[in-house]
Chains A and B, each alone.
Chain A
Amino acid sequence: NAGVTQTPKFQVLKTGQSMTLQCAQDMNHEYMSWYRQDPGMGLRLIHYSVGAGITDQGEVPNGYNVSRSTTEDFPLRLLSAAPSQTSVYFCASSEGSGYTFGSGTRLTVV
């Protein structure tokens, strides 16, 4: 099993550009979520989903959209990138006992 796969690993965007961070899991987990982690900081929840067709906002949702059309995929869209969105983004999935994280996307907005 690959677990949770995130692409790309690194990305540089210009202010105002949009992009989609991809997240896929092959463990048939119902729950998926997106976090951002700023340097030296903890994890902040952006959006989450408890199943296909269901999404909800976390602690810091502004500037981001998500969709969950399948159990496997949970893409995160940045609508109009801002320097404040420079961060490392982690996708995680769970069956209810422990999260499995992807390896992260390191995003820089210039």
Chain B
Amino acid sequence: GQQVMQIPQYQHVQEGEDFTTYCNSSTTLSNIQWYKQRPGGHPVFLIQLVKSGEVKKQKRLTFQFGEAKKNSSLHITATQTTDVGTYFCAGPEADSNYQLIWGAGTKLIIKP
């Protein structure tokens, strides 16, 4: 069945280092969405990418959608403590307007 794989499961960084999480789909996606969940919180929608090769930036966050629309990445430059949390990617189920297939998430941990 349709799957969205996300790696790594965890990433430990020193504050100020960069962070990247990768998302790969078994099928071509019409769009890819990214969410952030702070510890103890709920997932919050960050962005949706629709076009092949699309790159979008939100301050220190850079989101990319692959040319084949099967992979995506989220890169955070110079991490801060406010970036701590789990980042999820999600892509629509085939033939669905609403249903999402979720990646397992990447947990960003700042080393003390």
Using a CB–CB cutoff of 8 Å, the interface residues on chain A facing chain B are 30-31, 33, 41-43, 45, 48, 50, 90, 92, 94, 96-104
Contact = CB atoms under 8 A, between A and B. Distances in A.
Contact of A42 (B41, B44, B98, B105): B105
B42 A101 contact: yes
A100 B43 CA distance: 8
B104 to A, nearest CB: 5
The A interface, classified by DSSP as helix, strand, loop or mixed, is strand
Nearest to A29: B98
Contacts of B102: 42-43
A50 B98 contact: yes
Interface of B: 33, 35, 41-45, 48, 88, 97-100, 102-105
B88 A90 contact: no
Nearest to B104: A42
B33 A42 contact: no
Nearest to A106: B40
Contacts of B45: 98-100
Given A42-B105, A43-B88, A97-B48, A103 B42 contact: yes
A52 to B, nearest CB: 15
Contacts of B99: 45, 48
Nearest to A94: B98
Given A42-B103, A43-B88, A101 B44 contact: yes
Q: Which of B44, B98, B104 has the most CB of A within 10 A?
A: B98
A101 B45 CA distance: 8
Given A48-B99, A97-B48, A43 B43 contact: yes
A30 B96 CA distance: 13
